[in-house]
Amino acid sequence: MKRIFLVLCILNLFVSCKKGYDVDDFGENLRPYLERLSKEKALPVSDTLAKSLLEKKASKEELIKLMDAKNPILRVVAYRAIVNRNEPEYFDLLTNHLSDTAKVTSWFYEDASDSFFVSDLMIRKAFDKRGLSPIQKKVLTEKVLLEHSYLDVSNWMIQDVDPNEKYYNLIKKRAQTKNEKCDQLTACYALSKFKKKEDVTFLFNVFKQNINGGCKERVFKSIEKFPDPKFFQLLNVYFQNNIKGKLTPKENISDEVLYFARAIAVYKNSESLAILNYIAENNTYINKPYWPPSNKEYVFQAAKIYYDTIYNNLIKKIEKEIDPCELKTLSYRWMDDFRNENKDW
């Protein structure tokens, strides 16, 4: 037992000594670029000369060493260079640095910035540049959600995760946490996939509070995943207050009506048919000679995705109004978008 403890202490000492490199710990060929980058108060927005030359001149070993630099900006720059150079170790390096919770300011628009964990920025870089394989996504998702759920990227992952019981408690807790962003409703969307009756009353109350807010699209998507009869009354009230009497050829409609139509269509009853008929018959903005207007597209898509014989006459009526070639193109596009729309992560 003492021997094992001694070995662990030596390993811990080794790891401790390995971390925290200064600029002076690197070769003279890299120091000028590292010194310049170290003076940055935020991650460089553009591809600066110092960053480009570092990526070009540093060896793989030096970049890996730089991932343990004292300066967190240098750690992010080093990892981005590793990914850009397609170094095969990029994924193992990422999973070994998930606990890097130093904060770095990063600009995501020219006039907007925020503070992010170093590991969050590394994950986003690996995803944006390399894409990550399905197996890598699965491994990374599990590590983040079960071991590093404090990372911002966990909210990104939650919406795409399958309803696995090992994630249920985390997702339920997130769904119960109110915030100014859409994170709560993103968690509710993930929670809806479990389709648990015990969650219906909770979800109903959250949906009721948010169905007229800026994140209403996620309410509709959640109901689409879990069409409990109790939720239909929320959709009916929304229809009466926000759609009926509001559709006009002078204005177009947003994608929110698409997700509303799909949430309605999944119920496959006479009430849902009546609502879809109303939306289809009240044309929104028409840019002739292009056809059909969005209201017809949205209803047709919803009725086809959640097909039931109750929608036969509605589908046939819309099909007669659309050119056959255009109809075929739209059908392929709609189904492809539907299958891939929630695969952001």
In the chain, count H helices and then E strands: 19, 2
What pLDDT is attached to residue 337?
66
Could you give the 3-state DSSP secondary structure of residue 314?
A: helix
Beta bridge partners of 104: 116
DSSP labels, 146-179: HH-TTSTHHHHHHTTS---HHHHHHHHHHHT---
Per-position pLDDT tens, the chain of length 345: 444 444 334 334 333 344 589 999 999 999 999 999 999 889 876 657 888 899 999 999 999 999 999 999 999 999 999 999 999 999 999 999 999 999 999 887 667 788 999 999 999 999 988 778 989 999 999 999 999 999 999 998 998 899 999 999 999 999 999 987 899 999 999 999 999 999 999 999 999 999 999 999 999 999 999 999 999 999 999 999 999 999 999 888 988 999 999 999 999 999 999 999 999 999 998 877 677 889 999 999 999 999 999 999 999 999 998 888 877 777 766 666 666 665 565
What pLDDT is attached to residue 105?
93
What pLDDT is attached to residue 16?
38
Measure the CA–CA gap between 148 and 310, rounded to whole angstroms. 47
